[in-house]
Structures are given as structure tokens and as C-alpha cells.
């Protein structure tokens, strides 16, 4: 087995383990009984527009972190959200799915715009400086870590794979684990969105 294939297998296993471990994030609560997930953000979307947390207030927000060069977990989760929103019908107009990159070095506005074409048109795909991304990831309790190969020209990023649902005020409602069935996600969204 080549070292490149072994590298990808080990990285995928690590991401799966991290996703499982971070599923416990939902038990971290603030003193008022509300789960303390999210916060302010100052990023740029896939159209080049500057956005903040207020940009998406008034809509239900499905938030996940990842990167466009992710070989498996990210496109899978993005497709689950796309299918769930398609099944949701007109209620999908009340939802803004938000994909925040953890790889701003490669995920430029142009790269995100190209990636956006493969998923639901309501997606907002966001990037920013490494410092901005680190701040937002911390607010959402998202883990990520760049893992370089021997050549250093290509790399994967280990990261947690939780998808969050926020209400129109930006408050945490629930989460979806990696691999959630689109039907389950649609059913959950219908439970909250009226």
C-alpha cells in the first residue's frame, strides 16, 4: 500500500473518530440553561459580499464547518442538507444553510463560488482570514487541525463534523451528526419550522 493511500485512510479514520467524539458537544451548556453555541462573525461569502451574524437573522440557520478539498465528510453532509431542503419544499425558503471553511488558504471566494454550484442554491459559503475562521470555529466549538503529507503540497484537515440548527435569532436549537439521513433531517426541520 502506498504511503499516499495510507495517509488518506488514516486521515479519514481520524475525522470519523473526531466527529463521534464531538457529538457530545450538545451537553455543554451556559448557566442560563441555553446551549452556548455560535456568536458574532465577520466573513465573506461566495459572492464576495461581507457578512455578519445579523445577515442571517430572521431565517433558520443550518451551520457546518468544512473545506472544499475534503474527500468525503464535507460533500456528504452538504448533500444531505441539499436533499433535506429539497424535501422541505416551500419551507426551505425560511432556511439559510451556511458552510464555513476551515481552509481559508485554499477556499477563496472563487473556489467557494465554484463549489457552491454542486449544492442547494440557498447555501451561503463563507471564508475569511485564518484569524477570523479560528474565532468563529471557537464560538461553535469546532475542532480542526491541518495534517500535511511528506511533500507538503497537499493536505487534509481533521475536523469535527457536527451540523448545527440555529433559530431565527441565532440561538442553538439542535444538532445533526455526520451521516444523518436526509429524511430524518427533513422531519426534524418540519418539527421546528412553521
**Known binding positions for Cu cation:** 70, 74, 159
Q: Count of CB atoms within 10 A of residue 101's CB?
A: 28
Q: Measured between alpha carbons, how far is 146 from 2 in angstroms, rounded to an integer? A: 21
Q: How far apart are the first and last CA of the chain?
A: 52
Q: Do residues 192 and 94 make contact, with C-beta atoms less than 8 angstroms apart?
A: no
Q: Measured between alpha carbons, how far is 157 from 49 in angstroms, rounded to an integer? A: 26
Per DSSP, the three-state class of 21 is: helix
Known binding-site residue numbers: 70, 74, 159
Cβ-proximal residues to 5 (8 Å cutoff; 6+ apart), any chain: none
Q: Do residues 95 and 41 make contact, with C-beta atoms less than 8 angstroms apart?
A: no
Amino acid at each position: 500500500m502506498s504511503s499516499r493511500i495510507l495517509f488518506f485512510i488514516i486521515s479519514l479514520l481520524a475525522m470519523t473518530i473526531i466527529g463521534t467524539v464531538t457529538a457530545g458537544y450538545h451537553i455543554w451548556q451556559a448557566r442560563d440553561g441555553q446551549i452556548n453555541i455560535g456568536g458574532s462573525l465577520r466573513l465573506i461569502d461566495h459572492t464576495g459580499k461581507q457578512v455578519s451574524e445579523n445577515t442571517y437573522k430572521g431565517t433558520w440557520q443550518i451551520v457546518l464547518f468544512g473545506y472544499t478539498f475534503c474527500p468525503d465528510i464535507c460533500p456528504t453532509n452538504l448533500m444531505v442538507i441539499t436533499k433535506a431542503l429539497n424535501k422541505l419544499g416551500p419551507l426551505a425558503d425560511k432556511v439559510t444553510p451556511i458552510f464555513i471553511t476551515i481552509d481559508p488558504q485554499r477556499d477563496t471566494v472563487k473556489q467557494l463560488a465554484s463549489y457552491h454550484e454542486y449544492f442547494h442554491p440557498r447555501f451561503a459559503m463563507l471564508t475569511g482570514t485564518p484569524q477570523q475562521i479560528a474565532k468563529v470555529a471557537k464560538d461553535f466549538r469546532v475542532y480542526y487541525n491541518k495534517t500535511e503529507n511528506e511533500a507538503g503540497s497537499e493536505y487534509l484537515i481533521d475536523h469535527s463534523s457536527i451540523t448545527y440548527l440555529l433559530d431565527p435569532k441565532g440561538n442553538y436549537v439542535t444538532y445533526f451528526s455526520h451521516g444523518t439521513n436526509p429524511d430524518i433531517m427533513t422531519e426534524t426541520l418540519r418539527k421546528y419550522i412553521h
